[in-house]
Structure 1
Amino acid sequence: MPEGHTIHRLARRHKRLFGGAVVGASSPQGRFEAGAAGLDGLTLRGTDAHGKHLFHDYGDRWLHVHLGLYGTFTDGTGEPPAVRGQIRLRLTGGRKGPVWAELRGPTACEVLDDGARDALLARLGPDPLRPDAEPDLAWRRVSRSRTSIGALLMRQDVLSGVGNVYRAEALFRGGIDPYRAGRDVSRAEWDAVWDDLVVMMTDGVRAGRIRTLRPEHKLREPAGRGAGRYVYHRAARPCRLCGTPVRTAVVEGRNLFWCPLCQK
């Protein structure tokens, strides 16, 4: 599933492509036909992202997209290509020439009014990529919970935008056992994890990929699973820092990776 940096990049790209332009909207697949008809011919006023949720602002209504595990956006310049596959939503327009974008396989694709969008956002935790984020809100939820910190970081009502890669890498970089209860994580440790997520995820927006190795630990290695990571997808391989085999287990429905020696 795309993590928060990917959604923020999409919001910026869609603003560059369609911002300020009248947008044509259609649903070749037909599953979003009514929603597309309600957006067709409107001007895109702006875009926004909160965690894994993408929003297009059309004035009195919002397009809300959650890609989920299988959703993808593709785009290009010129006239859109012939319809292929299950396209939930196709957007066309552009201020400086024709551009297009196509959405396939999302978990959510819907039109919301202001009240419905506000209600959705109220259910989400703070997003480390947003300047208006309130890390204290996440800390209050973490510090009162007996649930493991490895599980809490995946819960979008606690923290928005963090997925499986950032979870594993942030806990490793913080030296925190993923099975430690949230209430047993100190405030200093939590602040360090939050600040680290801000740095890593901001870099992810710029680079378009997740980079977690600190400069002193970067090594040349073949591309592949686990390349450029401390523990993610490195099960049974030596920890980069201590040599202990990296362990893995399913937590919150996803494989968690950690070093049992570095993360005590």
Structure 2
Amino acid sequence: MPEGHTLFALARDLDTAFRGTSPEVSSPQGKFAGGAALLSGHEVVEATSWGKHLFVEFAGDRVLWVHLGLIGTFTIDTTSYAGELPVVGQVRCRFATDDHVADLRGPMVCDVVTPEKVDEVLARLGPDPLRPADPRSDPDLAWARIQRSSKPIAELLMDQAVLAGVGNVYRSEVLFRLRVHPFRPGNKLQRRTWRAIWADLVALLPLGVATSKIVTVHEQVDEVARALEAGEEVRLTSRDSYVYKRQGEACHVCGSRIRTQVVAGRNLFWCGNCQRRG
């Protein structure tokens, strides 16, 4: 499932391509024909994201709400439309102007909602590390939920009501980076540990936006951060990981074998030797 940095970048690109335009909106697949008719010809006001949720606001208080789920994609083609770009695959929703075509395929959620409904969705979500300056993105809100729960921190980090946008890769890698035991109950976690987790996510997710890759290994993190600070083009041709999808392999730090176990429906990866803190 795409994590928060992917949706953030997608919202940015949709906003750049369609803000201020009045695209033709259609549903080649047919499943979203009614919703497309409500949006077609209306001006795009803004495209934003929060965690794994995407919102495209149209004039007239109409908002396209999208959650990509496990298999969804939303691609943007910059080739001139001219009514000729063929439909490939099961396209649920298409935006089209003379300059851009965006095709949504396989989403878990694709619905036209009101701004009030958007507020309801946001109220159910935790703070977004990609928006630390937003008043709604207060890490103390997540901390309050964490310290009330006996669930392991590895499970809580995947709960979008606790923290928005973090998925399996980031939770595995950040817990390793901070040497936190993934099965430490939330109500046993120290506040300073939570603040360190939040700070690491705030630092790492923008690198994912910049590179379109989840960057967590310190050397690569430093490389990308230096390039961004210098205003240089970020060129990261490969991505390594500390623990993610490395089950049975030697830990880069201590040499112990990386372990795996299903937690919150996804394969968690960790080093039992390095990750003893909590």
The question of a shared fold, defined as TM-score above 0.5 by the shorter chain, is answered with: yes
Equivalent residue number for residue 253 of structure 2:
241
**Unaligned 5+ runs, structure 2:** 223-236
Which residue in the other structure is 1:191 paired with? 195
CA spacing shift, 1:56–1:217, aligned 2, 3 Å: closer
Distance 2:69 2:266 in 1: 14
Report if the CA contact (8 A) 2:207-2:221 is conserved: no
Whole-angstrom distance in 1 between the partners of 2:124 and 2:159: 11
Taking every aligned residue pair, what percent have the same amino acid on both sides? 49
Quick one: distance in 1 between partners of 2:221 and 2:66?
A: 37
Q: Does 1:82 align with 2:89?
A: no
Residue in 1 aligned with 2:270? Answer: 258
Aligned partners of 2:21, 2:269: CA distance in 1, in Å? 45
Give 1:71 shift.
Answer: 0.2
Q: What CA deviation, in whole Å up to 9, does each residue of 1:61-105 have, x standing for no partner?
A: 110100000001122121252122211000012xxx521000000
2:154 pairs with one of 143, 147, 150: 150
Moved over 3 A (4+): none
Q: Cα deviation per residue 1:173-224 (whole Å; 9 max; x = unaligned)?
A: 1111100101111111100000000111011011111010002899xxxx99
Total equivalences in the alignment: 256
Deviation at 1:47, TM superposition (A): 1.0
| Structure 1 residue aligned with 2:55 | 55
Q: Measure, in 1, the Cα distance between the counterparts of 2:177 and 2:87.
A: 45
Match of 1:176 among 180, 203, 208: 180
1:24 equivalent in structure 2: 24
SS of the counterpart of 2:23? Answer: strand
| In 1: Cα distance, 2:220 partner to 2:76 partner | 37
| Partner amino acid, structure 2, of 1:32 | F
Name the structure 1 match of 2:226.
none
1:118 aligns to what?
119
- Per-residue deviation, 1:115: 1.3
Q: Which residue in the other structure is 2:231 paired with?
A: none
Show structure 1 runs of 5+ residues with no match: none
Aligned to 2:168: 164
- After superposition, the C-alpha distances for 1:216-241 in whole angstroms (9 at most, x for unaligned) are 899xxxx99xx510000000100010
Give the AA of the match of 2:185. Answer: A
State the Cα distance separating 1:250 from its structure 2 match. 0.2
* Distance across 2 between alignment mates of 1:183 and 1:19: 44
CA distance in 1, matches of 2:262, 2:53: 24
- Structure 2 CA distance, aligned partners of 1:55 and 1:216? 31
Task: Tell me, yes or no, if the aligned pair for 2:14 and 2:76 is still in contact at 8 Å.
Answer: no
* Distance in 1, Cα, partners of 2:53 & 2:10: 10
TM-score (norm: length of structure 2): 0.89
For residue 204 of structure 2, give the secondary structure of its aligned residue in structure 1.
helix
CA distance in structure 1 between the partners assigned to 2:86 and 2:219 by the alignment: 45
- Note the C-alpha offset of 1:23: 1.3
The alpha-carbon deviation at position 31 of structure 1 amounts to 0.4
Q: Kindly tell me: are residues 34 and 184 of structure 1, through their superposed partners in 2, closer, same or farther at Cα, counting changes over 3 Å? A: same
Aligned-partner Cα distance in 2 for 1:5–1:85: 25
Q: Distance in 1 between matches of 2:203 and 2:36?
A: 37
Question: 1:134 corresponds to which residue?
Answer: 138
3-state SS in 2 of match to 1:243: coil
Secondary structure in structure 2 of the residue aligned to 1:109: strand
- The one-letter amino acid paired with 1:215 is E
The aligned counterpart of 2:69 is 68
Q: Work out the CA distance in 1 between the residues paired with 2:221 and 2:2.
A: 25
Match of 1:101 in 2: 102
Distance 2:204 2:240 in 1: 13
Structure 1, 7-16 or 124-133: larger mean CA deviation: 124-133
